[in-house]
Structure formats: structure tokens, C-alpha cells
Copies of this chain bind each other. A is one copy, B any other.
């Protein structure tokens, strides 16, 4: 099995450049966009119509964000792009160009890097954006970092624009990714039923909500973010940025049905706290939000409301109006 050490940095870059070229990606369907220089120069260069650009970056580190048990390389490639795309969606933007940094040991099989790229390129195809360059460095622990630039066709969606009295809603059911991870790490896996595969797929192949985000923008919504660290944690961040509090009704939080089926006792906590979801949280005037969900967002749900109160405070209430204890930090690195 050829390793990246056998190939060396420069031939590996050639191989990956060929993979990107062979993928035949269509340029983003964004007004005035034109790629002048992709992989192979000191930087990538593109023309773009005047507008509001957004940039984000997201990383996956082996044995921190994924292991060979939980996530094959193909899925790592998809997931790292999905994480970045989810941030682009949460800004109300469309993706344009990605640069990729690979930190890899010499012993890594070339086929692993090729699978990683195949997963990333699959995301490029699906969401129509370009992979325009990057950097490869030696690292004892594998990591992959993507920086993604996008463009807002209209106004941006921000965290800081919630208003008291806004309804709080999500674009779809939650907890699936965390449920899938729990099943993958469990010593006693249930039979590989359809529900099992659904949850594993939710963990390995999450779908960023770019279309939904554009529907939010078109409807005049101004406040959104994605659920990457867990619903309650991320809603708290949104509230903190807006200087407000929020109330969530647990009974209204949509729980991924296969999760409720396979892990019923923990399903609600996973929906409230599970990370790597990539559904969007958004807020807006209650009538507008209800109308939007009815008309254009069948997977979505209103889950609570924005209130005056201490910035960043989120209260979760059960069906009897009693406050539910929820671990409020989701996934925190470094701890």
C-alpha cells in the first residue's frame, strides 16, 4: 500500500490537483463569479461582483473529531466541508471557494487522502463551489482544515439580530448526529436496521442547510446560526450576541424519529445537547416564522421564544412548565 511518504509532498499535490481537475466542478452560480487561478499558484484568484463576502474555517483532528471507527476518510472529507458550509448557510450566504490544509503523517496511505478528497469534492458538486488550493504539511496526528469563502446574495443572517418577542425555530429534527455517534461507539450495537443506518448517516454525512437558509433570507429573517455545539449551547450564544434570553419548550423540540425509536430514554437530551447537527436555529416575528415553516419548511418547528433578560440565558421548560436541567455547554474543546 503506497504511503504519502513514498509519494512525497510534491507528487501528492500533483495527484490531488489531478483529482480536483478530473472532478470537473461547475463554477458557483453567483453573479459575476469567475475563477482566474485555482490550484498551482501562490494563492487562488477569482473575480466576483461587488458584494458581501463571508469567510469561515473549520477543522477535524483525528482521534478528537473522528476516529477510523466512527468515520471513514470519505466521510471525513464530506463532514469537514459540511461544517464549513453550515457556517456559510448560517450567514445566509452561498459558497464560492475553499482552500484545504492537510496535516498528515508520512505513513498515511495515499488511498486515504484520495478518499478524503473524494468526500470533499462530492460536497463541492452537491453545493456547487470550488476547491481552489491549499497546503500540505507533515503532522504526526492527521488533521484537515478548510477555509471557505462565500457571498451573501441579500442581507446576512447574524446572531446579534434577535428581538424580544421573536419566535425561536429550527429548520429540522435534532439529535440524530449525536445518536449515531453513540451507536457507533457502543459495545452493544443494535441490529443494523433502517433507523440505525439513518442515525449513522446523520453523524457521518450531515447536510448543511444552504437551501433552507436562502428561504430564510427571502422571507426576511435576519437572525440565524447553525447547531454545531448543541441546541441549547448555540441558542445561548445567539442570545448572548443579541443581549437577550430565550425560553425553549422541550415538547416542541423536534427529535429525530429514528433516535426516539432506538435511544428513547436519551433522545430529548441528545436533541437539546447533541453537536454536529447543522440544522439552523433562527428567530423572527412569530407570525412570519409560523407562516414560513408552514409554507416552505416542512421539517422545521417553532421551539420557543426570545425574551428580555440576562444575555445568553436559555431556559428549557417541560410540558408542565417546569424548568428542565440541561447541561448547557455541549461539546467544549480543551476541557
Of the candidates A106, A149, A241, the one having the most CB atoms from chain B within 10 angstroms of its own CB is: A149
Q: Are A57 and B334 in contact (CB under 8 A)?
A: no
Q: How far is the CB of A330 from chain B (nearest CB, A)?
A: 10
CB distance from A233 to the nearest CB of B (A): 9
* A159 interface neighbour in B32, B41, B332, Cβ under 8 Å: B41
- In the complex the two chains form, what is the Cα distance from A150 to B51 in whole Å? 15
Contact string, A317-333, partner B, CB cutoff 8 A, digits 1/0? 00000000000010011
Q: Does A103 contact B (CB under 8 A)?
A: yes
State the CA gap A139–B333 with chains docked (Å).
9
Rounded to whole angstroms, the CA-CA distance of A135 and B50 in the bound complex is 27
CB of B9 within 8 A of CB of A332, answer yes
Contact status A59-B7, CB under 8 Å = no
Query: B42 near A159 (CB under 8 angstroms)?
Result: yes
A87 nearest in chain B by CB position: B42
Q: Are A137 and B59 in contact (CB under 8 A)?
A: yes
Decide yes or no whether A123 CB sits under 8 A from chain B: no
Q: Which B residues are CB-close (under 8 A) to A159?
A: 40-42
| A298 on the B face (CB < 8 A) | no
A136 at the interface (CB under 8 A from B): yes
> What residues make up the interface of A, taking CB atoms closer than 8 Å to B?
4-5, 7-10, 12, 32, 36-37, 40-59, 61, 63-65, 86-88, 90-91, 93, 97, 99-101, 103-104, 106, 132-141, 143, 145, 147, 149-150, 152, 156, 158-160, 225-226, 241, 329, 332-335
